[in-house]
Structure 1
């Protein structure tokens, strides 16, 4: 059996997340159907993580095992010929049989995009959260600096998160401006359910003056979801890159 690693991009607008769900359109389901259509095999596609409904990806990574003899450089062309327009395979590589897209990931980079124009920009409405209220970017950057490091991020994850260990290591948060768009780029070794969206929502609350930058350590130490800000909408979030040893 060969192990094929894919780098994929998708517009998450019309997907119910990455993971397969009965009778729902998902990224994993579409990939598995496409591979079966090409090879006649039912395979399990393993993703680096389970993006939520509405979340996008530029560099999601997935792998699957197959006995097909399709040359590795032909896989992107073959899959893109049968995949829908909102899901594209950007690259394929044959890897070690033991490679696992999720367990071997060493880090991820997410970008949250905010549209700060007075009226919504129709051309980014699917990929940015429209916030017309003036934001203090300097204070947002100050607040973000408190989030960097290894912390228990219970205050910044969905209250229904089943994991007991909620410590995560955020290696970097950068806030950059591109015209009326504001980018919050978060890098880390792993993230909890809704974590980046709650971080982004909290930073927007800081930008509005509802939360002070020096309140962030208190929010983290509280380990209580009710202390943090709003959960930013899913459509503003994009998985940019997944990092591996190689």
Structure 2
């Protein structure tokens, strides 16, 4: 019987057409599965904690897979990294609890969104940031960081975020546990969103529509109504390149990864877009 493995991988999304395998690649899934085949792992497919869209990055994406019983996660961790491209890497391979599943065992996720509100985007950040001056609906206006944070904090709580996600995601209540805005200097800001679950495009619509409201392009009463009643709005979907899947959380008894690994992930590259303190 094949044995389960939990794999922590990271990627820069700009070189991929999203996570999920599709006819027009390359995708993270097909690239990872090809590398696994080259590493001697018979392909049965990998199951991610969640799918990311084209252009979205991941500091921590977790996948479940199975390997032959004579193999081991430790041996796989030695073989796999050299077979991956520069934009995709591995931090940890671990044999998890028998009931662990990358997607269904997850109890929450954290996303970070990087947005340039003023100044000039540093060259090293260019592929990983939304510059408000390049968005026509935002460009003519100055956006106050304090106002942006005020609006985003209105979204905290358990609610139906139907006005902020695609119809392809099931309509149900989700909890946005916290939102914080961090000044990274030079006009660069980082929005940190922690929740139990997120629908497709939810973070991008929340951040984009909050930016639009802060810029005066969407009345605050419409923003509030969208949050409180699900009233549809002509919102703004923020650019994919600013978004990072930062962390996937599991119950302590099922978590394959240690607190030390979460605080300082082995093998995670230095530099953008994976800077910033770990989640506290």
Superposition deviation, residue 68 in structure 1: 5.2
Is 2:152–2:207's contact at 8 Å kept on the other side of the alignment? no
Alignment of 1:166-245 (within 5 A): 166-179=172-185, 180-211=187-218, 215-225=222-232, 227=233, 229-245=235-251
Give the secondary structure class of the aligned counterpart of 1:39.
coil
Superposition deviation, residue 212 in structure 1: 5.3
The root-mean-square deviation of aligned C-alpha atoms, in Å, is 1.8
CA separation in 1, counterparts of 2:30 and 2:19?
A: 8
Unaligned runs of 5+ in 2: 134-140, 253-280
Report the CA distance shift for 1:183/1:212 in structure 2 as closer, same or farther (over 3 A): farther
Unaligned runs of 5+ in 1: none
User: What TM-score, normalized to structure 1?
Assistant: 0.92
Question: Counterpart of 2:17?
Answer: 16
CA separation in 2, counterparts of 1:77 and 1:129?
A: 36
How many pairs does the alignment contain?
243
Determine if the alignment matches structure 1 residue 109 to structure 2 residue 110: yes
User: What TM-score, normalized to structure 2?
Assistant: 0.81
CA separation in 1, counterparts of 2:153 and 2:40?
A: 49
Superposition deviation, residue 34 in structure 1: 1.2
Is 2:48–2:61's contact at 8 Å kept on the other side of the alignment? yes
CA separation in 2, counterparts of 1:72 and 1:203?
A: 43
Superposition deviation, residue 39 in structure 1: 1.4
Superposition deviation, residue 23 in structure 1: 3.9
Determine if the alignment matches structure 1 residue 150 to structure 2 residue 158: yes
- Give the stretch that moved more between structures: 206-215 or 99-108: 206-215
CA separation in 2, counterparts of 1:199 and 1:9?
A: 24
Question: Counterpart of 1:2?
Answer: 3
